[in-house]
Amino acid sequence: MSGGERQRVSIARALLKPAPILLIDEATSALDTENETAVTEAIGSDPRARTKVMIAHRLSAIRNADHVLFIDDGKIVEEGSIAELTEFGGRFAEFWRQQESTSGWRIAAATH
C-alpha cells in the first residue's frame, strides 16, 4: 500500500473505535486534495459524541473546528474559534491569509 492508502486505513480504523477521545496527527499530510476532502468530511461526520483533537499544518483540515490552539515553538500563543482568530489579526490570521492566498495556485504545463 502507498503512504496515502495506509493513512486512510489508519484513519478509518480510528473512526471505528469507540474511544471517547480521537487524536488525529496530520491526518491529511500524505493525501491529494480529493482524498483530503473525503477524509476531512469523514472526520467531521463522525456520529460519535467525542472530543476530536487534530494536529494540522494544512488549515483546510481544521476549517470546521470549534476551537483552535495555535502553537508556536511548543507554546500556545493564540486560541479561539477560527472567526475570532482571523479577526484578531495575530499569527493565526497571518498563517490563514498565507494559505488562503496560495489555495488557487496551479502548476502550468511547460511550453517550449
pTM of the model: 0.69
CB 10 within 8 A of CB 26: no
Q: Which domain holds residue 22?
A: 1-64
Model confidence pLDDT, tens digit, residues 88-108: 999 999 988 888 777 666 666
In the predicted structure, residue 112 carries a pLDDT above the cut 70: no
pLDDT one-digit tens code per residue, 69-82: 999 999 999 999 99
3-state SS, residue 17:
coil
29: CATH: 3.40.50.300
Question: Where does a domain end: 32, 47, 64?
Answer: 64
| 83 and 45 assigned to the same domain | no
* Sole residue written with cell 494540522: 56
- pLDDT for 26-66, tens place per residue? 776 767 777 777 877 888 787 788 888 888 887 877 888 88
Alpha carbon distance 48, 46 (integer Å): 6
Query: Is residue 79 within 8 Å of 69, Cβ to Cβ?
Result: yes
23: amino acid identity, one letter: L
Q: Can you tell me the distance from the alpha carbon of 78 to that of 83, in angstroms, rounded to the nearest whole number?
A: 13
Number of domain units in the chain: 2
> Residue with C-alpha cell 500524505?
30
| Residue 84 sits in the same domain as residue 37 | no
